[in-house]
Structure 1
């Protein structure tokens, strides 16, 4: 399952180290005769951290016509060009830029790992600096403060449906036939071109969240080219994106209860209540007030829902969210409004929609969506309709569905799977199913619910499994568990 929001802000990691590169360099050409890569300055608008170098390669728009129209992929690199191995990284999404991820990943590695690996990432096709798709002015269709995600009546529901249809139409108009090529299978084929351009016979890979789906797809399509592979925050390989949403809803509800319980344990700092039930009641009261009187006329109940959902992926976000609500209750809505504006700016993610809507077949009859979401809302009232509306443009998408790739085969080499027990974005059941699909792989599960474990959760046990595997290529002898990282302090 892929998350519907930005999953891992790798570029926010502090104390970044410097790379071993010094000026533009050229990588060795691959055994297949691929053109050598020339590394130089990254595009200014990419926000790639200092010390990152970038290059480009051409790949076929349509792999059934390999000599036809070509599109450009932009790659980033950090570390020594003479490193023994290269780790290719995807930070998640789909639709998230990758060229900003190489530096924080390399900098977070322990010295013995960063000495052995350079790190390469890239903007997948359709994203950022890699022939991006566009939805034109579709973001203007979503006004703020927005109406409740749960429609009050049939008229309100149809108004939301009209927005979803409008987004799909604008994406088709702005991106045209490019939408037909934006699929995980094609992104995996692109990765094999990246591997060849790097001159590597095998792809060493680290994929977070959606990146686990991309990595598993690559391993299925190119098993003989698959090297050391870590899939972290693992997508369910056995269900469609449509079905995965309904797996995600109750996991988000459970994670919300954990947030409320954490806030109760820290009532001395936030004064939201001393029990989970009291915090829940306070939250409901704040939400009710914002529905009738949005903060600064901009942040209403729906915007509060957005902030809650985006904060559930890591408990490192919980102090900020609790502080926003506490400040609002004391009469200062500024931080709440500012964070709401930031989320609203990304209300439509063209590349995310492009991948999600093409990778799977979606119901075209809105009654199916209505009935399934109404049923899901009985167990997940906070999130069922929210996540339906995020995906709803797929009901009206203009591009054809890609040929599905069945993850796994007897030829796929075993890989390392990392997962947290209560991950709300990619629930544990998905990792367990991936473990079965990729025979011989090992699954390590951490306590807690933080989405994305290796290098960025401060969990020495989980990092140890990842480091040992990258250094030796040897998987743990059996599946394993780790304690979760400590909860954040106010």
Structure 2
């Protein structure tokens, strides 16, 4: 998930935030006392596997003041299946920012090869502010808890006026309601939290598997604490440009969806597809754009959805979501067919407000605390108009105004610059046609890591590569690295496999 987003009254909120967002820890904070050993018990989630156990790690709210206020982080573990083969801990670093990760080990049981499960304690955690780790909320109205507002889709005529109003409203609510935990959110602090988890686990070094935003958090951890890393897998990789960071990731959607759309178009025009929508891939593209334009001016009622209508931006958001995996393609086609009057609208499925409140708050806090965003609304308007022409499938959304334009304080510390300094122990996995973290951005992270990394690129489409939307060649290379520590001598391109997007 790639999301977003100043206080009740702007002047009051600004005074509050400026008073409470003093600079946080530098890259070399005072060394706190080691956290006590973990006490493992039952996990609170009903969806957790029986073998998954949970515990709590206490971390400083402000790593600059390790003896000051602290917050709890929820962590989980599934012990190595074969203790005699155990290599260490494999920490799963979730995406987002804002995604939970406490039940990641339970998911890993179904996804990772047994040879990896045999050798590692698989450890997950909810990052600070997320889920069961001191969760934060901006207290937004139900109407603002929808992806077509969380992501800044312009109006049908290209106007950004409503986006500007939403961004200001969300920023004000987050500053007013987010509290000190939201103000502490940053990728550098997540890296410091990860090192505290390592200490609590009693591990001198940590292996990690970071996915999506987790690749940036993992790269920052490996940069700040290079001597405490073992085998690092970065999967579906973010551009680490320290002048843009998350702003650049949002902009990357324009390129990423264009890279990925041909896979969808070929599937949607396949004569063997019972949900075929057109005769050729070119017709799929023109039909999608025409349907979105029609829904811009004549939306369809959609009871139960938020908002309760199918409009052009809802269709575009569904397309963006659908590009993440081939298994999501049918959801896009169903809406296209419904918009064209050839099928009834499917039942609306919306996540619970509480989950969206939390994910949005963490996303906004991290995005706005990590890096400075432009304040000029004219700049956003100009760039959005240009982007609508350049990448019509995403209609200007990737460069439109975000709540960070109204954030009342600059970041407490500059983004961490990822460098090649440290052990050569990183393996990157990357699909060539990733809609959310495009290959072009992955190449930037590869260059930043230099000799520390190798990259396995996979001629495949979708987000998440290893044991997900990649292929057997890429999976085998990542598995070999995790189980033996051996990487390819150089970067590798795995060829496409039949039946894979």
Return the alpha-carbon distance in structure 1 between the equivalents of residues 285 and 292 of structure 2. Answer: 10
- Structure 1 residues not aligned, in runs of 5+: 6-31
Asked whether 1:195 is paired with 2:206, we answer no
| Structure 1 position 486, deviation (Å) | 4.0
Q: 1:294 aligns with which of 297, 300, 315?
A: 300
1:73 and 1:131 in contact (8 A); partners too = yes
Partner of 1:71 in structure 2? 71
Pick closer, same or farther for the CA change 1:143–1:214 going to 2, 3 Å: closer
Pick closer, same or farther for the CA change 1:418–1:145 going to 2, 3 Å: closer
- DSSP-derived class of the 2:433 partner: coil
Partner of 1:59 in structure 2? 59
Moved more, 280-289 or 215-224: 280-289
Pick closer, same or farther for the CA change 1:289–1:434 going to 2, 3 Å: closer
Return the alpha-carbon distance in structure 1 between the equivalents of residues 461 and 143 of structure 2. Answer: 34
- Structure 2 residues not aligned, in runs of 5+: 5-32, 303-307
Q: What do residues 82-134 of structure 1 show as CA deviations (whole Å, max 9, x unaligned)?
A: 54411000131111001121111233222222111110010111111111221
Asked whether 1:353 is paired with 2:359, we answer no
Pick closer, same or farther for the CA change 1:180–1:138 going to 2, 3 Å: same
1:66-465 to structure 2, matched below 5 A, reads: 66-80=66-80, 82=83, 83-141=86-144, 149-152=153-156, 156-238=159-241, 240=244, 241-266=246-271, 268-291=273-296, 292-296=298-302, 298-326=309-337, 329=340, 332-335=343-346, 337-339=347-349, 341-342=350-351, 346=356, 349-389=360-400, 392-403=402-413, 404-440=415-451, 441-457=453-469, 459-465=471-477
| Structure 1 position 387, deviation (Å) | 3.0
- DSSP-derived class of the 2:238 partner: coil
| Structure 1 position 458, deviation (Å) | 6.1
Return the alpha-carbon distance in structure 2 between the equivalents of residues 101 and 427 of structure 1. Answer: 24
Return the alpha-carbon distance in structure 1 between the equivalents of residues 426 and 500 of structure 2. Answer: 31
1:246 and 1:384 in contact (8 A); partners too = no
1:242 and 1:362 in contact (8 A); partners too = yes
Return the alpha-carbon distance in structure 1 between the equivalents of residues 445 and 425 of structure 2. Answer: 11
Return the alpha-carbon distance in structure 2 between the equivalents of residues 450 and 144 of structure 1. Answer: 20
1:424 and 1:451 in contact (8 A); partners too = yes
| Structure 1 position 448, deviation (Å) | 2.1
Return the alpha-carbon distance in structure 2 between the equivalents of residues 423 and 136 of structure 1. Answer: 33
The TM-score, its normalising length taken from structure 1, stands at 0.86
- DSSP-derived class of the 2:460 partner: coil
1:246 and 1:376 in contact (8 A); partners too = no
- DSSP-derived class of the 2:160 partner: helix
| Structure 1 position 274, deviation (Å) | 1.0
Return the alpha-carbon distance in structure 2 between the equivalents of residues 358 and 145 of structure 1. Answer: 23
Partner of 2:27 in structure 1? none
| Structure 1 position 34, deviation (Å) | 3.3
1:294 and 1:301 in contact (8 A); partners too = no
Partner of 1:11 in structure 2? none
| Structure 1 position 39, deviation (Å) | 1.4
Pick closer, same or farther for the CA change 1:428–1:144 going to 2, 3 Å: closer
Return the alpha-carbon distance in structure 1 between the equivalents of residues 301 and 250 of structure 2. Answer: 30
Return the alpha-carbon distance in structure 2 between the equivalents of residues 130 and 445 of structure 1. Answer: 34
Pick closer, same or farther for the CA change 1:442–1:226 going to 2, 3 Å: same
| Structure 1 position 290, deviation (Å) | 3.2
1:414 and 1:438 in contact (8 A); partners too = no
Return the alpha-carbon distance in structure 2 between the equivalents of residues 165 and 470 of structure 1. Answer: 45
Pick closer, same or farther for the CA change 1:476–1:402 going to 2, 3 Å: farther
1:88 and 1:203 in contact (8 A); partners too = yes
2:334 and 2:343 in contact (8 A); partners too = no
1:443 and 1:479 in contact (8 A); partners too = yes
1:142 and 1:163 in contact (8 A); partners too = no
